[in-house]
Structure formats: structure tokens, C-alpha cells
Chains A and B, each alone.
Chain A
Amino acid sequence: DAKTTQPPSMDCAEGRAANLPCNHSTISGNEYVYWYRQIHSQGPQYIIHGLKNNETNEMASLIITEDRKSSTLILPHATLRDTAVYYCIVRGLLGGATNKLIFGTGTLLAVQP
């Protein structure tokens, strides 16, 4: 079962920042927070992952709360091509059954022109 809770849908205006929340209150100490997105009829695309520090890459920023029970994915300047379902997943980094990526229902982000 997915260990995360996300809103089912969100809207964002093109050019504005999109902030996608995720609750993972049962996350354990060795589990990372991963974000993937899936554009319609395509395979999921990796976005970013983190343990406890905030992370940034060319696609997005990941802000993890100090207690690690929630996080926010930030797309700084959303474009129409960012319209997709965004999945927040918690998973161990290495080894064994914890390697499985289990997808929840995700958040459908609709970027509006």
C-alpha cells in the first residue's frame, strides 16, 4: 500500500510556481521521498528525491519538513507541458523489498494558460 497522501488534483497558472504537497507521516528513518510524474499515455518520469535536506535540480525543488512527515514539490515556473499526474513515493534507498516503487493515486496538476 502507498504510504503517502496527496490531493487528487490542483490547478496552476502558466508561468507561476506549482507547489504540490505530500503527506508521509509514517515514513521511517531510512526511507527517501521520491517524486515521479506521468504525462498522459507515457511512462513515469523521475523528477527528484531526498532524505531530509531540501533538494534542487533542473526540474524542481523538494522541500521536506524537519519532522519528515510531509514534503512539497515545487515547479518554479510551470508550463503547459508540466500538466501531468505527480506521484510522491516513499522508499528505501537500497536493497530488498523496500526497493519497490509503489504508486498511489497521485495529484493531477493542470497548468492553465
Chain B
Amino acid sequence: GAVVSQHPSWVICKSGTSVKIECRSLDFQATTMFWYRQFPKQSLMLMATSNEGSKATYEQGVEKDKFLINHASLTLSTLTVTSAHPEDSSFYICSAALVRGGSYEQYFGPGTRLTVT
């Protein structure tokens, strides 16, 4: 159990276009989802936290108008990279939180590799 999926697994887009990445919790409901970004040979950087039905909370330095997050249901969160540029090329990873037995567990998706040309 506790599986998180992402779609697509990889995407190539042209500079100036927008790209939407989906994150789904397949077998549990996640009131909170997180989005991370990872550049080559670097660690994961938290971009934003999203709670179902409310606006996302962005980390310092992350442009909320560029990285649009929608968490419309307990099993789906989307990240839209608007007007993408080559410097947005990165590995985007989502994570979903599961509260179980008094414990707060966080599970990660497989990631989406975005390449902007």
C-alpha cells in the first residue's frame, strides 16, 4: 500500500510553453502533498506544500505564479510549470502524506523529468 504515481514520467517541451505534472495517491487519501525539485547531483529542494481544497504554501524563492499547484481532491495534486524555460529543466518529485496509527508518513512518487528546449 501507500503508492504514489506521477504522470508523465518524462516530458520535453519548448521554451515558453506550459507543462502540467500530475501526482496521485493510488491507495490512500492524502490531505497534504508536497512538491520537490532536484537538479543533477543535488539534493531534493522543497518547492511547496499543498493541502486539499486550499492554496499551496510556497517555500522562499519559489515563484508561485510560475509553478501553479492545484490540489483539488484527496488523491490528486497537479503542478503546472508556466512559460517554461531551459533553467526549469529538472527532476520534479511529489510526495503525499498519510496519517496512520498516530504516525505521519510521507511517500514519494517516481518523479518526472522535465526538459525544456
Q: Is the CB of B43 within 8 A of A44?
A: no
Cβ 8 A contact of A46, one of B107, B109, B110, B113: B107
**Which residues of chain A come closer than 8 Å to B105, judged between CB atoms?**
46
Does A13 interact with chain B (Cβ within 8 Å)? no
The total of chain B residues at the interface (CB under 8 A) is: 26
**Which residues of chain A come closer than 8 Å to B99, judged between CB atoms?**
94
**Chain B's nearest CB lies how many Å from the CB of A7?**
15
Q: Which residue of A lies closest to B95 (CB)?
A: A101
Q: Which residue of A lies closest to B104 (CB)?
A: A94
Q: Is the CB of A100 within 8 A of B34?
A: yes
**Chain B's nearest CB lies how many Å from the CB of A89?**
10
**Which residues of chain A come closer than 8 Å to B36, judged between CB atoms?**
103
Does B103 interact with chain A (Cβ within 8 Å)? yes
A87–B105 alpha-carbon span in the complex (Å): 16
A36–B38 alpha-carbon span in the complex (Å): 15
**Which residues of chain B come closer than 8 Å to A36, judged between CB atoms?**
108
By a beta-carbon cutoff of 8 Å, the part of chain A in contact with chain B is 36, 38, 41-46, 87, 93-94, 99-106
- With contacts A101-B34, A102-B46 known, what are 5 further pairs, Cβ within 8 A? A36-B108, A42-B111, A43-B110, A45-B108, A101-B95
